[in-house]
């Protein structure tokens, strides 16, 4: 999509601090980190939600998150978050996952 900031990053129109890239996903450090380690993992295909046609892609994103957690030395633990829709806090309508770690994260759910 031409107006999607993540699609522009994937296309190289907007620079990023790349953490990982393969044929399916791009991972880069968030410009507004919420933790010492905050990496966004985005599919290169513009999708807005996980469904039966792209669930393998979503699984690949989780595998990349696990690999990055090892590389980024998050052995004490980490969090993977995705926001969906306005009420879920999604600000970019392109499926993406946040890999957060590097400190004790607050419990947000009981």
Task: Yes or no: say if 81 and 16 are a contact pair by the CB < 8 Å rule.
Answer: no
Instruction: Give the residue numbers annotated as catalytic, written as ranges.
Output: 96
Rounded to whole angstroms, what are the CA distances from 39 to 25, 87, 110? 12, 22, 25
């Amino acid at each position: 999509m031409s107006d999607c900031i993540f699609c522009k990053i994937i296309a190289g129109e907007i620079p990023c601090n790349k953490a990982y890239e393969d044929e399916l996903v791009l991972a880069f450090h968030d410009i507004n980190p919420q933790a010492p380690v905050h990496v966004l993992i985005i599919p290169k295909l513009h999708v807005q939600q996980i469904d039966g046609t792209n669930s393998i892609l979503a699984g690949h994103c989780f595998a990349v998150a696990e690999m990055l957690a090892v590389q980024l030395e998050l052995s004490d633990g980490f969090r993977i978050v995705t926001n969906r829709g306005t009420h879920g806090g999604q600000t970019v309508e392109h499926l993406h996952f946040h890999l957060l770690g590097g400190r004790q994260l607050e419990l947000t759910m009981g």
